[in-house]
Each structure stands twice: as structure tokens, then as C-alpha cells.
Amino acid sequence: MCFSLTRAGNLHSKEEESAGFFLWFITTSAKIGFHRYILDNFTGDTLEGLSQREVQEFDSPAEVRALIEGQFLSMRAHAERFGMPAPPNRIIATGGASANQRILSSIASIFGCDVYTVQRSDSASLGAALRAAHGWLCNKKGGFVPISGLYMDKLEKTSLSCRLAVSAGNSELVSKYTILMNKRMEIENSLVQKLGRY
């Protein structure tokens, strides 16, 4: 997903072009598992009176937004289920999509916390370089050395230093996303019961 989000974020000429490419990418690369729902009667205050209906497709901008928001709502719900505090202290966004300000704003609004980025968005190559350096250091020292030994007291001088990219979303919006997250999990659980686990 990082490639497609980065590609969509880098097509600055027109939003429709970005959304069109992204929509093409997701619909040609992943044909199964799509369930699209529209929530009727959502006031933003409660799940009461809220109903959902499945639809075959959204228009392109809604499709992209639903995919991005749905992924982050799912991440938040599952992370909270495993004990992540709500809201978390902060999120450090990495990867190509961390260069996209709108995606970072969505993360801040959905999780309700500040979002930081590292100087380098290409975290895969940075992670590989860190692992190689860690292996070299362990070999040099003749045994295991905690990876923190690579950057302890040097963090601000490296590309691992973080900067605040987006402040936490406003509490009203976070509250609405919390309700949507609960509804999303309700729908997900019903799909798991209906279709089984893969």
C-alpha cells in the first residue's frame, strides 16, 4: 500500500488524477475482500439509529478516502484491542505515505494524537541499513549489543530524529471517528461470522 499511496500523493497536478491512479491500482491488484458500506442516519453522536447498507462501488474520491480511513480505523481498533492506550502518546509515520499531509491529518484525526515523521520517508531502506549496522556492531563487539547502542544519545544527529508533522485532531472529530471505528468493527465481526476466517 505504501507505493500506491506515495504514487497518489506525488501526482500533484490534479486530485482526480491521483485518485484515478490509486483507484486503478487497488482495483487491479486486489480483487477479493471488498465490502463497501454506506452508513445512514449518522449524526456523529451515537450508534443508535445508525443503519448500514452495502453498495457495489463508490465514486473514485470516496473509494480512496474509504480505503485510507478504513485501514486506519481498523489499525486503531485492533491496536486498542491489544492494549494500546486511547489515544496513544504519539504515532510515528514512516514509509512513502508519510510524505502526504492529508494522510497524516487523517491519522491524527482517527487516532487522536500527534503524528510525527522521520527525516527519511523510505523506512525500508533505512531499516535495512540499521539492521546491517547492528550486525556489524555485534560482530565487532563479539556478542549481542542492543540496537539502541547505534543511536543512543545521537538521535538528533541522525535521520531517525522525529519532527511533529500534524497535531492531534480536534476532540469532536476524534469522537466521531471513535463511533465509526466501533461500527466498522461491528461490520467486520459480522463479515467474519458470515464468511469465516481466511
The pLDDT value given to residue 142: 94
Place of cell 486503531: 76
Residue 148 located in a structural domain: no
The pLDDT value given to residue 24: 53
The pLDDT value given to residue 57: 81
Where does the pLDDT of residue 67 fall: very low under 50, low under 70, confident under 90, or very high at 90 and above?
confident
Residue 180 located in a structural domain: yes
Take residue 127 and report the three cell numbers written for it.
Answer: 531499516
Q: What is the mean pLDDT of residues 132-143?
A: 92
Domain span holding position 40: 2-87+169-195
Q: What is the mean pLDDT of residues 171-178?
A: 89
List the single range of 12-21, 107-116, 178-187 with lowest mean pLDDT.
Answer: 12-21
The pLDDT value given to residue 105: 93
Residue 73 located in a structural domain: yes
Residue 63 located in a structural domain: yes
Write the DSSP symbol of residue 87: S
Convert 48-61 to b/e letters by CB count within 10 Å (16 or more is b): eebebeeeeeeebe
State pLDDT tens for residues 29-42. 444 456 788 787 78
| pLDDT reading at 136 higher than 60 | yes
Residue 114 located in a structural domain: no
**Residue, of 60 and 4, whose pLDDT is higher:** 60
The pLDDT value given to residue 21: 55
Number of domain units in the chain:
1
CA distances to 35, 99, 102 from 116, rounded to whole Å, are 31, 11, 14
- Rounded to two decimals, the pTM is 0.68
Show Cβ contacts of residue 63 under 8 Å, excluding neighbours closer than 6 positions.
19, 23, 26, 36, 57
Take residue 80 and report the three cell numbers written for it.
Answer: 486498542
Q: What is the mean pLDDT of residues 1-30?
A: 46
The pLDDT value given to residue 130: 82
Residue 132 located in a structural domain: no
Residue 44 located in a structural domain: yes
Residue 124 located in a structural domain: no
